[in-house]
A = this chain, B = another copy of it.
Amino acid sequence: MVRAVEPHFPRALRAPGAPRGFALEFEEPLPLACGRNLSPFTIAYQTYGELNRARSNAVLVCHALSGDQFVAGKHPMTGRTGWWEAMIGSGKPIDTERYFVLCPNVIGGCMGSTGPADTNPATGKPYALNFPVVTIADMMRAEALLLDVLGIEKLLCVTGGSMGGMQVLQWAAAYPDRVASAMPIATAARHTAQNIALHEIGRQAIMADGNWRGGRYLEKNVRPERGLAIARMVGHISYLSEEALARKFGRSLQHRNALSFAFEPDFQVESYLHHQGTTFAERFDANSYLYITRAMDYFDLAADHGGDLKNAFRKVTARFLVVSFTSDWLFPTSENRAIAEALREAGAKVEFHEIVSHRGHDAFLLDEPQLFSQVRNFLGSVAAQQGIA
Interface positions, chain A 28-60, Cβ under 8 Å from B, are: 33-35
Q: Interface size bucket, A side?
A: 35 or more
Of A207, A246, A261, A290, the most chain B CB neighbours within 10 A belong to: A261
Of A133, A229, A230, A262, the most chain B CB neighbours within 10 A belong to: A230
Pair A227/B208 contact, Cβ less than 8 Å: yes
Pair B233/A200 contact, Cβ less than 8 Å: yes
Chain A, residues 234-253, CB within 8 Å of chain B (1/0): the string is 10110010100110111100
**Segment from A14-22, A84-92, A266-274, A378-386 that makes contact with B:** A266-274
Interchain nearest-CB distance for A297 vs B (Å): 7
**A263 to B207 Cα, complex, angstroms:** 10
**A277 to B251 Cα, complex, angstroms:** 28
Pair B200/A270 contact, Cβ less than 8 Å: yes
Pair B230/A194 contact, Cβ less than 8 Å: no
User: CB-CB < 8 A to A332: which residues of B?
Assistant: 242
Pair B273/A200 contact, Cβ less than 8 Å: yes
Pair B190/A251 contact, Cβ less than 8 Å: yes
Partner of A267, one of B132, B196, B236: B196
* A224 to B, closest residue via Cβ: B208
Pair B294/A245 contact, Cβ less than 8 Å: no
Partner of A197, one of B129, B205, B270: B270
Pair A193/B269 contact, Cβ less than 8 Å: yes
Interchain nearest-CB distance for A328 vs B (Å): 12
Does any Cβ of B come within 8 Å of A300's Cβ?
yes
**A274 to B237 Cα, complex, angstroms:** 21
**A312 to B10 Cα, complex, angstroms:** 54
Stoichiometry, as copies per complex, reads 2
Interchain nearest-CB distance for A36 vs B (Å): 8
**A133 to B261 Cα, complex, angstroms:** 5
Pair A197/B300 contact, Cβ less than 8 Å: no
User: CB-CB < 8 A to A207: which residues of B?
Assistant: 263
Partner of A208, one of B200, B209, B261, B267: B209
Interchain nearest-CB distance for A134 vs B (Å): 9
* A265 to B, closest residue via Cβ: B200
Does any Cβ of B come within 8 Å of A198's Cβ?
yes
Does any Cβ of B come within 8 Å of A374's Cβ?
no
Does any Cβ of B come within 8 Å of A389's Cβ?
no
Pair B259/A298 contact, Cβ less than 8 Å: yes
A263-B294, A269-B197 known; A245-B192 Cβ under 8 A: yes
**A267 to B300 Cα, complex, angstroms:** 13
Does any Cβ of B come within 8 Å of A359's Cβ?
no
Ranked nearest first, the 7 interchain pairs of A and B with the lowest CB-CB distance are A34-B261, A193-B245, A133-B261, A210-B210, A193-B269, A208-B226, A194-B242
Contacts A194-B245, A242-B332 known; list 16 others, CB within 8 Å.
A34-B261, A133-B262, A192-B246, A194-B240, A194-B242, A196-B251, A198-B237, A200-B265, A200-B269, A201-B273, A203-B263, A204-B230, A208-B226, A251-B300, A251-B303, A259-B298
